[in-house]
Amino acid sequence: MTDDPAPEATDAPAAPDAAEVPRPAEAPDAAETPELPGLRASIEAILLVVDEPVTEMTLAQLLERPRGEVAGTLRELAVEYTEQGRGFDLREVAGGWRFYTRDVCAPVVERFVTDGQQARLTQAALETLAVVAYRQPVSRARVSAIRGVNSDGVIRTLTLRGLIETAGQDPESQAHLYRTTGYFLERLGLRDLDELPELAPYLPDDLPDEIVEDT
C-alpha cells in the first residue's frame, strides 16, 4: 500500500494583524460658522454705512431678530450715546433710524464739510421750501403768489436737490403740485410733518388772511 502524497503547501496570505488594518479616512470637519457679532454691534455697523434712515423692520429681517428686540436696542443705544455725551446721536427720522452729528458739534462739522464753500440754501430757496412744507401740496403759481415773486427757478433747484417732488396735478387747473420729500424730513431730523414747528408765531402781523390761513 502506497502512501498518498502530502498536500502541497499554499502561499495564502496570512490575516493581517488588527493593528495593521488601515482605518478609513475620516471626513473632514465642516467649516465652523464664524461667530456673528452681537445685536448692538450689528446695528451700529449697519447704521454706520447707510445713506438714509433704515427701518426697524429692515434691521429685524436682516439680523433675524424680533422687531421689538431691535426697537428696544435702538432706543437703548440712543439713550446711551446721549448720556455719554458722544459727538453723534441716534435719531428716529423719516420712518427709520440713522446716526447724526450732535447739535453742539455743528460749528466744527460745518467748518470741516464746507471748508469755506457756500453750502446753505439761499434765502429764496428757504422761503420757497417753507411755503411748500406748510402748504403742501401746492402749485408753483401759489408759491409765487405767497412769496410775491416768480419761484419757478427756485422750485427747479429744490427738486434737483431732492427736497421737494411733484405730487400730482390740481384737479381744476391741472397745474403740477409739489410736496416735500423723505429726504427733506431726513435733513431736518423730523419723523414726519407733524413735527414742523407752528408757523403762525413767526409771521408778520400785516400778512393777508389768505396767506395766514391753515398755518
Confidence check: pLDDT of 181 > 60: yes
Going by C-beta distance under 8 Å and a sequence separation of 6 or more, which residues neighbour residue 215? 134, 198, 199, 200, 203
User: Band of the pLDDT at 90, cuts 50, 70, 90?
Assistant: very high
Q: How far apart are CA 51 and CA 54, in angstroms?
A: 9
From 161, 94, 175, select the one nearest 125 (Cα to Cα).
161
CATH fold match for the domains 39-104 and 123-188: yes
Q: What is the gyration radius of the CA atoms in the chain, in angstroms?
A: 36
H or E segment and range at residue 169:
strand 164-169
Q: What 8-state DSSP symbol labels residue 158?
A: H
Confidence of residue 35 (pLDDT cuts 50, 70, 90): confident
Of 34-38, 68-72, 192-196, where does mean pLDDT reach its minimum? 34-38
Q: Residue 210 pLDDT more than 90?
A: no
Domain residues of the chain, as ranges?
39-104, 123-188
Confidence of residue 187 (pLDDT cuts 50, 70, 90): confident
Q: Is the dihedral of CA 46, 48, 51, 53 positive or negative?
A: positive
| φ and ψ at residue 25, rounded to 5 degrees | -65, 135
DSSP assigned state of 199: S
Whether the predicted pLDDT of 29 surpasses 80: no
CATH level 2 (architecture), domain 39-104: Orthogonal Bundle (1.10)
Mean pLDDT to the nearest integer, 176-189: 91
Q: 71 pLDDT exceeds 90?
A: yes
What is the mean predicted confidence (pLDDT) over 42-54? Answer: 91
- CATH class for domain 123-188? mainly alpha
CA distances from 34 to 20, 49, 62, 145 (A): 39, 22, 17, 63
All 3 cell numbers of residue 22?
488601515
Percentage of the chain beyond pLDDT 90 is 43
Q: How many residues does the chain have?
A: 215
Most confident of 96-105, 106-115, 116-125: 96-105
